[in-house]
Amino acid sequence: MTDRYDQVRAVEWVDDVLHLLDQRRLPQVEETLVLDDCAAVADAIRDMVVRGAPAIGVTAAYGAVIAARRRFAENPDTWRVAFEQDLVHLNNARPTAVNLGWAVQRMREQAEILQGDPVPGLLALARDIHAQDIQANRTMGELGAAFIEPGSGVLTHCNTGSLATGGYGTALGVIRSAWAADRLSSVFADETRPWLQGARLTAWELVRDNIPVTLLVDGAAAHLMRQGRVQWVIVGSDRIAANGDVANKIGTYSAAVAARHHGVKFMVVAPASTVDMAIATGADIPIENRAPEEVLELAGQPVAAAGAQAWNPAFDITPAELVDVIVTERGVVERPDPAKMSAMMA
């Protein structure tokens, strides 16, 4: 189901194959890749055709369906051996997003109890994971929007909308819900270097949904806060530790530090599948380091001095003490700590 503020779907299962909107080419080109090979699905996750922890999880679930279909057709008696190798390959596509491993494990467990052709049972689960993600996002949208006073300005970082999820979005879902409820006066989006997810993706989604958006360079966020133009920073997460520390797109920590200094509230919105209670603190969350070319080049063209090196962590850790509220579909945790996180996840 879509509505006037929810027009985008990045991951779809159509005619028994996976359709992915290629987010590397947005906003200039809207191209959909049609995939029926599990290795190609893993490549799409690694190469950021699809990105955002929930969307990666949904994509991996459909990738497992594709893998099972091929392996069962090749050898109905021993298909599970090759299928497990495919799942490992999927799981290794990107290390930080916990939803990836969560979805792969759910598909693995489902496959273990299936008899005969595994595809119908696995497809049913993948569709369920997808539908539950959208419903969870709508729930989070309403829960998060309730914290926002009418007339507020909000700032978001990276992309947390329909492109990053099964649909509607996490942090951007809160912004959609708050806008629909006439609670927002303005929406600002960091450009989000080096992949420019804010400029290319968040701005594209909001324009598509007729929600006015103002883009700013990442380094302008603190100046915007100092002027009193935003009351909330609202972001997503790729993994949340048991104490409430948050891994999210690089630059999130900077925004949280600036927000605390300027008295701006900081909200993290993510499905419960993003909470990893097996990880005590953010110090234990693996941080993906990506190719230096992503910083040294832009759209394949060099922008840095020849011979310069680059450090390119994809994520950073925002400590729980800088987070005012974590919103999941299970409920809300204000001023998170281990006890509150445990109670929510119980």
Kindly provide the residue ranges of all beta strands, DSSP E only, lying in 163-249, ordered along the sequence.
Answer: 184-190, 214-216, 232-235, 239-241, 246-249
In angstroms, the CA 227 to CA 126 distance is 46
CA angle at 227 for the pair 226 and 231, rounded to the nearest 5°: 80
From residue 310, give the alpha-carbon distance in Å to each of 56, 165, 262, 287, 315: 26, 30, 30, 16, 15
Q: What is residue 197's three-state secondary structure?
A: helix
Q: Give the C-alpha separation, 134 to 299, whole Å.
A: 32
Catalytic, out of 238, 245, 316, 324: 238
Write phi, then psi, for 81 (nearest 5 degrees): -65, -55
Residue 162 tokens, joined:
């329909």
CB 230 within 8 A of CB 154: yes
Active-site residue flag, 238: yes
Residue 159 contacts by C-beta under 8 Å, 6 or more apart in sequence?
Answer: 51, 52, 172, 192, 197, 198, 201, 202, 205
Q: How far apart are CA 249 and CA 66, in angstroms?
A: 29
Active site residues: 238
